[in-house]
């Protein structure tokens, strides 16, 4: 861990017991623990929910459920609020649901297993247009541009979209830029957002980059 990252972690609020359990289990039971949001970004996500007083949140790509717990922990009125989270890997389902239960959020978060794009199209068919106060995009990097198009109308006017990993280890500004599909997907997403007159946005260098997008 870099010295700056260590200092930031040591001087930010610690994660609670349920989040620490999810982090441990992610390290033990998966091969991709670096995908976890972590304590600093997790605390930021919780505070975003609190600051926006969000009641309806949509997450694309929950992995082992850490970020979903962080987001839902920020609900000021959990009995009136709900988070829908989407995940492709059904092998993680038991771990995810146990984490939600340990956090006391089993009734507050709904897990939808399957392809994100298919689930989002179903949400459109179910009439969820304008439902969500906040959308957190952290799924297949190749498909970020498609996710952006699919979630836009699901967000209420004045709502927010967060795009994670948008700096992609600096690959998006390398010259020449790598031509792998993940880098191209992230770069196209960032270009789309920057050129979209329907939103205002800013990228924060938090962890691997977070694009904060306000739907006007």
How large is the greatest C-alpha to C-alpha distance in the chain, in angstroms?
Answer: 50
Query: Does the structure show a pLDDT above 80 at 1?
Result: no
pLDDT in tens, 47-93: 999 999 999 999 999 999 999 999 999 999 999 999 999 999 999 99
pLDDT in tens, 136-146: 999 999 999 99
CATH topology assigned to domain 3-215: Rossmann fold (3.40.50)
Say if strands 210-215 and 199-204 run parallel, antiparallel, or are unpaired: antiparallel
- In this predicted structure, what is the pLDDT of residue 11? 97
Average pLDDT of the residues in 147-157:
98
Q: Please, is 94 exposed, middle or buried when counting C-beta atoms within 10 Å of its C-beta (0-12, 13-18, 19+)?
A: exposed
Average pLDDT of the residues in 187-215:
97
The domains of the chain are located at 3-215
- In this predicted structure, what is the pLDDT of residue 112? 98
pLDDT in tens, 153-193: 999 999 999 999 999 999 999 999 999 999 999 999 999 99
Average pLDDT of the residues in 97-113:
98
pLDDT in tens, 74-87: 999 999 999 999 99
Average pLDDT over the chain, rounded to an integer: 97
- In this predicted structure, what is the pLDDT of residue 76? 96
- In this predicted structure, what is the pLDDT of residue 32? 86
State how far the Cα of 71 lies from the Cα of 46, in Å rounded to an integer: 5
Cα 190 to chain centroid distance, Å, stands at 16
State how far the Cα of 11 lies from the Cα of 31, in Å rounded to an integer: 28
Length of the chain as a residue count: 216
Q: Answer yes or no: are the C-beta atoms of 36 and 66 closer than 8 Å.
A: yes
């Amino acid at each position: 861990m870099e010295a700056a990252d260590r200092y930031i972690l040591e001087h930010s609020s610690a994660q609670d017991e349920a989040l620490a359990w999810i982090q441990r289990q992610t390290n033990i039971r998966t091969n991709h623990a670096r995908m976890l949001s972590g304590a600093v970004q997790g605390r930021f996500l919780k505070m975003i929910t609190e600051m926006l007083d969000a009641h309806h949140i949509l997450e694309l790509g929950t992995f082992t459920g850490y970020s979903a717990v962080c987001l839902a922990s920020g609900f000021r009125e959990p009995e009136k609020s709900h988070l829908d989270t989407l995940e492709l890997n059904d092998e993680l389902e038991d771990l995810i649901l146990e984490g939600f239960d340990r956090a006391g959020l089993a009734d507050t978060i709904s897990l939808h297993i399957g392809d994100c794009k298919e689930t989002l199209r179903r949400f459109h068919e179910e009439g969820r247009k304008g439902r969500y106060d906040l959308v957190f995009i952290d799924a297949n990097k190749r498909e970020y541009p498609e996710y952006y198009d699919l979630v836009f109308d699901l967000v209420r006017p004045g709502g927010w979209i967060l795009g994670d990993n948008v700096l992609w280890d600096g690959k998006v500004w390398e010259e020449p830029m790598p031509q792998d599909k993940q880098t191209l997907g992230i770069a196209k997403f960032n270009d789309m957002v920057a050129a979209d007159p329907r939103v205002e946005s800013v990228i924060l260098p938090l962890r691997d980059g977070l694009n904060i997008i306000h739907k006007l």
